[in-house]
Chain A
Amino acid sequence: MNWLTEPFRHEFMQRALFGCALIGFTNGVLSAFIVLRRLALMADAMAHSLLPGVAVALILFGLAPGNLFFGALVAALLVGLGVQVISGSSRIKEDTSLGLLFACSFSLGLVLLSLSPSQVNVTHYLFGNILGLSDGDLWIIYLISFIVLPLLVAFQRPLLMLMFEPSIAASQGVLVKPLNYMLIGLLVLSMISSLQAVGVVLALGMLIAPAATIYLCSDSFAAMFWGGGIIGMLGSCAGLFVSYWLNLPSGACIVLVLGVIFFAAYLFSPKYGILSKFLRRRHLHEESLARWEERNSIDRAVRSQSKEN
């Protein structure tokens, strides 16, 4: 068991594991909403647009978790607002303006970071640096989890109705617009929390893979909600271990492990996996073949009987 406990002798690994578990769980629970509300593209754009906020905060106020947090938050809000303004005031549709703004703000972020006097490592923000979690980072992760999770649990019913069909939900008195804004807000918050773990480029993996996995295995929303959290948590922690043992980048390992779990479900899920679908079809095919042969043999028997007569 030495190989399992050995990593925990380092304090940075203890912190990292704690952070991974919490971030993985929060993002995993939220992923049910991202998948069902079809916010994947939106989430990706939002994640990339955090970068200039981080860069500006870094240049103006220095490297402190609180500063980066607010910088990222402001950047996400500005991009979100910009998308609404551009798509609302011109003939450009929402997905186009989203793509445009996210590419621009990501580029702006890269440029700003390269101009930054403090020589920060850009890759930390692109691909995460979970091994370098500070106390402040951990506090922000706690704080975000304690905002996101209770709100999602408390508003489970109206959120479920909203995701199922917004117009029926509205006709039943669900406040669709505020609820939508809340969901986007929570999305931004939990992305900021995963910034440290996997970075802006890979954040989407943690926000989609867990629920997408359960979506292939179950027809229950509750399973997607809690199961997504559990898969997110276990997958992230497993990814961390893999990166430690094999000495590979942590963010990429986390997302890869989540991806492997997803593909396992895609192939082997008893309900919606392609292998079981294939086997089931085969099964039906064999059944009909058997019926056909049975009928043929009866026909043959009848024919041979009539010949004998």
Chain B
Amino acid sequence: MTTHHLEIKDLTVAYHRVPAVHHVSVDLRCGHCVALLGPNGAGKTTFFKALVGLVPKETGTIIFGGHGKVGADTDIAYLPQRSVIDWDFPITVRGMVEMGRYMRIGNWGRFGKADAQAVDLALRTMDLADLAERQISALSGGQQQRAFLARSLAQEAHVFLLDEPFTGLDKTAQDLLGQAIRKLAAAGNLVIAAHHDLKSVPELFDQVIFLNGELIAFGDTHEVFSEENIARAYRTHIFSGAHAHDAALAGSK
């Protein structure tokens, strides 16, 4: 199996002409668990959304497996923060995972045997087979996150973009989810997770991206995850309004 690359070249995303992500170029290889680190407002969510076409790119190209990507694609799955989901939605875990297949079979395609098998496999891989018939609010936080992963597995995605998957999980749930994403990476997928808890980075991720509007650093955790880079990334946001305001004040004096 050839190793796929997710190549991001010169990515810039702006809201109302104010750049949120600025000329980011990074070459990611499948088989890794990557932490996306940076302070609030560093553009982590925007970065993810640009990769799946939810926000328009100002500049830049995204290439996966040798093909340029524009907009929605089965290869790349985006999983938003758990808090945005209505967990009372009338759907079982299995039903939610089945939605991962809809992109492949389309609006009117038959949901066939192969699709059911893909769903079963995804549920088993994420250790959710026993919980498949439960309504989704009957899961714990960690199980809900794994159900999301199962949905993307059923979609046969290769790149998993997770927005703060570890937020609000206790130690046991965190360990289980850590195992789950390492399993995905070992199977040849690329997992990128926006992450806040710096302490747990070395045990959960083997690569790190520091983002603060622009790319601060990228590389293997043992090389790049240093006091110096953390300090650089978590300094005042480069493009924040507060900074511009300070600069304006300094200029007026």
Q: Does chain B have a CB within 8 A of A286? A: no
A171, B135: Cβ atoms closer than 8 Å: no
Q: Does chain B have a CB within 8 A of A63? A: no
A161, B54: Cβ atoms closer than 8 Å: no
Q: Does chain A have a CB within 8 A of B71? A: yes
A36, B78: Cβ atoms closer than 8 Å: no
Closest-CB distance, B244 to chain A (whole angstroms) = 23
List chain B residues, Cβ under 8 A from A10: none
Closest-CB distance, A204 to chain B (whole angstroms) = 21
Closest-CB distance, B75 to chain A (whole angstroms) = 11
A154, B107: Cβ atoms closer than 8 Å: yes
Q: Does chain B have a CB within 8 A of A307? A: no
Closest-CB distance, A31 to chain B (whole angstroms) = 13
With contacts A154-B108, A155-B107 known, is A171 near B90, CB below 8 A?
A: no
B79, A168: Cβ atoms closer than 8 Å: yes
- Give the contacting residue for B102; candidates A157, A165, A220, A224; CB below 8 A: A157
- Give the contacting residue for B99; candidates A155, A160, A170, A218; CB below 8 A: A160
Chain B contacts with A in 61-96, Cβ cutoff 8 A = 71-73, 76-80, 84-86, 89-92, 95-96
A172, B155: Cβ atoms closer than 8 Å: yes
Closest-CB distance, A240 to chain B (whole angstroms) = 29
List chain A residues, Cβ under 8 A from B155: 172
With contacts A164-B96, A167-B78, A170-B54 known, is A224 near B107, CB below 8 A?
A: no
Q: Does chain B have a CB within 8 A of A173? A: yes
Chain A contacts with B in 148-206, Cβ cutoff 8 A = 154-155, 157-158, 160-161, 163-165, 167-168, 170-174
A173, B108: Cβ atoms closer than 8 Å: no
Give CA–CA (A163, B78) in the complex, Å.
17
With contacts A171-B72, A173-B71, A220-B90 known, is A165 near B103, CB below 8 A?
A: no
Closest-CB distance, A39 to chain B (whole angstroms) = 14
List chain A residues, Cβ under 8 A from B96: 164
A171, B53: Cβ atoms closer than 8 Å: yes
Find the A residue at minimum CB distance from B84: A165
Give CA–CA (A33, B232) in the complex, Å.
48
Chain A contacts with B in 189-235, Cβ cutoff 8 A = 215, 218-221, 223-224
- Give the contacting residue for B80; candidates A161, A165, A172, A223; CB below 8 A: A165
A164, B107: Cβ atoms closer than 8 Å: no
Closest-CB distance, B34 to chain A (whole angstroms) = 18
Find the B residue at minimum CB distance from A156: B107
Give CA–CA (A158, B107) in the complex, Å.
7
The A interface, classified by DSSP as helix, strand, loop or mixed, is: helix
In the complex, how many residue pairs between chain A and chain B have their CB atoms under 8 Å apart?
Answer: 70
Give CA–CA (A155, B96) in the complex, Å.
17
A164, B108: Cβ atoms closer than 8 Å: no
List chain B residues, Cβ under 8 A from A165: 80, 84-86
List chain A residues, Cβ under 8 A from B52: 170-171
List chain A residues, Cβ under 8 A from B95: 220-221
Chain B contacts with A in 33-62, Cβ cutoff 8 A = 49, 52-54
Find the B residue at minimum CB distance from A155: B107
Find the B residue at minimum CB distance from A170: B54
B89, A157: Cβ atoms closer than 8 Å: no
Give CA–CA (A173, B90) in the complex, Å.
22
Closest-CB distance, A118 to chain B (whole angstroms) = 46
With contacts A157-B102, A161-B102, A172-B72 known, is A167 near B54, CB below 8 A?
A: yes
List chain B residues, Cβ under 8 A from A155: 107
- Give the contacting residue for A170; candidates B72, B91, B92; CB below 8 A: B72
Find the A residue at minimum CB distance from B76: A171
Closest-CB distance, B144 to chain A (whole angstroms) = 12
List chain A residues, Cβ under 8 A from B77: 171
What residues make up the interface of B, taking CB atoms closer than 8 Å to A? 49, 52-54, 71-73, 76-80, 84-86, 89-92, 95-96, 99, 102-103, 107-108, 135, 155
- 19 A-B pairs within 8 Å (CB atoms) are namely A36-B86, A36-B89, A36-B90, A157-B107, A158-B102, A160-B99, A164-B86, A164-B96, A165-B85, A167-B54, A167-B80, A170-B52, A170-B54, A171-B77, A171-B78, A172-B102, A173-B72, A220-B92, A224-B90
